[in-house]
Amino acid sequence: MDPNPGIFPHLSYVMSRLPSLTRKNDSHNSDSNSLQFDIEQPRLPPPSDPSSSNTTSHHVNITDPKLLASMTRTIYDVAQTRSMLKVIGERPDHEAVDNAKAKLADLDAHLSRQLEEIVMSPAPSNVAPIQWRHQQAQKEKECRKLAEDEKRVYKAVIQLDEMHDAYEKLLHDAEKRLVQIYSSAGEATECVGEEKPGIDDEVNEEVVGILQKAYGHGMERIDLSNRGLRMLPEAFGRVSGLVVLNVSTNQLVAIPDSIAGLQNLEELNVSANNLEALPDSIGLLQKLKLLIVCGNKLTALPDSICHCKSLVELDASFNQLKYLPTNIGYELQHLEKLMIFLNKIRSFPSSVCEMRSLRYLDAHFNELHGLPSAFGRLTNLEVLNLSSNFSDLQELPETFGDLIKLKELDLSNNQISALPNTFGRLDSLSKLNLEQNPLEVPPKEIVKQGVQAVRNYMTRRWVDILNEEERSRVEMQEQEQMGWLTRSTSWLKNVSESVSGSPRDPKESYLQEQL
């Protein structure tokens, strides 16, 4: 909730320094409103503190009253919003927001059906038309009220998420304004410390040169890997003919939104940086086929990544992802290779089962608790690695046997005690790793004999289960037939006894003769 120093360096610095300056000035002027600001934010550590970084070394001295007043006004809204968000709570997670939106859609659809039934219902003949319209209006009002009461909770979740979105935008705007203030005041104020000349200046010159060359010659490939870059210029978005961009192994903390201008980009490699988020504008890269974002600090992929419908390979491994976008499987229909290992993903969205083109899936070293029940729909999957989910992964769905093209499977270092009964149907399976699992089905001696022995054992087991189910079904049918005959015989006997024990009038005698 607090501004991240890596993404908002100026904003974090100013919000850290203003409290100490506020208290010092308050002793002289207790009526000053412009300086009474954000006193709950901790101060920067003193220069003597070994944990203190050189964060302030490149900032303008903010003791100038005019400059301080401008900064205070700039971040006033940020402080107010931050205080409010601390009261109403943390941002809801991605799945909670998606579920809330789905629930609202269901409630709206249900309400629409109810209102349609009310409108279309015929008026009874014994009720006056005016009275009938009044009754219908009352029913409609009650339906709407009930629907609104149910929707209130879900709307609150969505509104809270939108408030956090607005807060993020507020941070970006404040950071931009502060950058402008620093730029305009740089020559008129003292600098805190001296900025070290070095590799950054050389890199910037190199980047400028590459950009100039790209404009003039229409370059399709740019490789800026391992250059120590801390930022990527917005001007990259104007190299519209770019097809391949590699900025891996740098110190980037953000990718500019202008990347959306690279309409012909097919390969983007931003691996091994310090990225905590990807821009939403990445979803505008309609021709993107290869996206490598591994080795960063991403906690989530933007929902807009689902709009990159040409994507064939996605490597988001070695991050801090907790989930995948809800609709990722519905949209990325051409994705063939998905690598998300070394993350903190607890479950797959059900839409993953719709990735019919997926051939390679590596999700080892996560926190997976299981797979969606329809996982067997991934009928083109050839390589699957679910190893090292440790105590979290305990079973596989029965549809697992539908992965008819699966060739390589790694389930090691989990807590699987039994393979699914359909496992024997994996006819293409040639490589299998089941080490470090408390397996009981199949037994360990079968596992040691190799993948073919495991498949044969599971096939025989499946056949035995089917035969047993068939025997149970036949026995059940026989019992039902015997029960029907028993009930019929008992009924006839009761009728006969009832007739024989009743008075013999002419009609009953006739019935008795017929019986």
**pLDDT one-digit tens code per residue, 52-74:** 334 334 444 455 666 666 667 66
Residue 24 binned pLDDT confidence (cut-offs 50, 70, 90): very low
- For 403-430, write each residue's pLDDT tens digit: 999 999 999 999 999 999 999 999 999 9
User: Residue 234 has what pLDDT?
Assistant: 82
CB atoms within 10 A of CB 92: 17
31 occurs within a structural domain: no
In tens, the pLDDT along 129-180 reads 888 888 888 888 888 888 888 888 888 888 777 777 776 777 777 777 777 7
Query: Of 146, 165, 183, which closes a domain?
Result: 183
Give the mean model confidence (pLDDT) for residues 317-341. Answer: 94
Distance CA 171, CA 11 (A): 8
Q: Does 349 share its domain with 459?
A: yes
Backbone angles phi, psi at 291, to 5 degrees: -130, 120
What's the CA gap between 88 and 366, in Å, rounded? 31
Nearest to 441 by CA among 417, 467, 462, 465: 417
- 430 and 354 housed in the same domain: yes
Q: Same structural domain for residues 179 and 278? A: no
Q: Which of 34-38, 393-397, 439-443, 473-477 has the lowest mean pLDDT?
A: 34-38
Tokens representing residue 183 in the block: 């730029």
- Split into its structural domains, the chain has a count of 2
For residues 174 and 258, membership in a common domain is answered with no
pLDDT-derived band at 21 (thresholds 50, 70, 90) equals very low
The angle, 0 to 180 degrees and rounded to 10, between the axes of the packed helices 506-514 and 451-500 is 140
What span, in angstroms and rounded, lies between the C-alpha atoms of 422 and 172? 53
113 shares its domain with 223: no
> What are the structure tokens assigned to 491, written together?
């009924």
**Rounded distance between C-alpha atoms, residue 419 and residue 135, angstroms:** 60
Residues 119 and 226 in one domain: no
* CA-wise closest residue to 155 among 111, 101, 112, 98: 101
pLDDT band of residue 233 (cuts 50, 70, 90) is confident
DSSP 20-57: HHHHHHHTT-TT-SSS---TTSPPPPPTT-TT--SGGG
Q: Specify the pLDDT at position 113.
A: 85
Query: What does the alpha-carbon distance between residue 485 and residue 492 come to, in Å, rounded to a whole number?
Result: 11
Residue 443 — pLDDT band, cuts 50, 70, 90? very high
Calculate mean pLDDT across residues 500-509: 56
Is the pLDDT reported for residue 377 higher than 60?
yes
| 149 and 229 fall within a common domain | no
Long-range contacts of 413-421 (CB under 8 A, 24+ apart): 413/387, 413/388, 413/389, 413/437, 414/386, 414/387, 414/388, 414/389, 414/390, 415/390, 415/391, 417/441, 419/454, 419/458, 420/395, 420/396, 421/458, 421/461, 421/462, 421/465
319: nearest Cα among 348, 334, 340: 340
Long-range contacts at 100-104 (CB < 8 A, ≥ 24 apart): 100/153, 100/154, 100/155, 100/157, 100/158, 101/154, 101/158, 103/151, 103/154, 104/151, 104/154, 104/155, 104/158
Please report whether residue 87 resides in a domain.
yes
Shared domain for 155 and 81, answered yes or no, is yes
pLDDT at position 47: 35
Q: What is residue 33's predicted lDDT score, i.e. its pLDDT?
A: 40
CB under 8 Å to 103, separation ≥6 — which residues?
151, 154
- pLDDT of 347 > 80? The answer is yes
- Give the least confident one: 83-87, 129-133, 219-223, 359-363: 83-87
The residue with greater pLDDT, 181 or 346, is 346
- The DSSP 8-state label assigned to residue 145 in this structure reads H
**What is the per-residue pLDDT for 188?**
47
Q: 283 and 331 share a domain?
A: yes
Of 424, 441, 463, the one marking the end of a domain is: 463
Q: What share of the chain is helix, strand, coil (3-state, %, to 5)?
A: 50, 5, 45
pLDDT for the residue numbered 504: 53
Residue 190 lies in a domain: no
How high is the pLDDT of residue 329? 92
Last residue of a domain, one of 448, 463, 478: 463
Q: Check whether residue 261 and residue 320 sit in a common domain.
A: yes
Domain interval for residue 374:
209-463
Q: Which residue has the higher pLDDT, 248 or 117?
A: 248
pTM above 0.95, yes or no: no
Domain identity same for 342 and 302: yes
More confident residue, 476 or 348: 348
- Residue 426 resides in a domain: yes
Residue 485 belongs to a domain: no
CATH code at 411? 3.80.10.10
CA atoms within 13 A on the CB side of 369: 5
Whether residue 192 lies inside any domain: the answer is no
Q: Within its chain, how far is the Cα of 226 from the centroid?
A: 30
Both 424 and 284 in one domain: the answer is yes
* Residue 142 resides in a domain: yes
Residue 382 lies in a domain: yes
The pLDDT-based confidence of 43 (bands split at 50, 70, 90) is very low
Over range 117-127, report the average pLDDT: 82
pLDDT at residue 98, rounded to an integer: 81
Rounded mean pLDDT, 101-130: 83
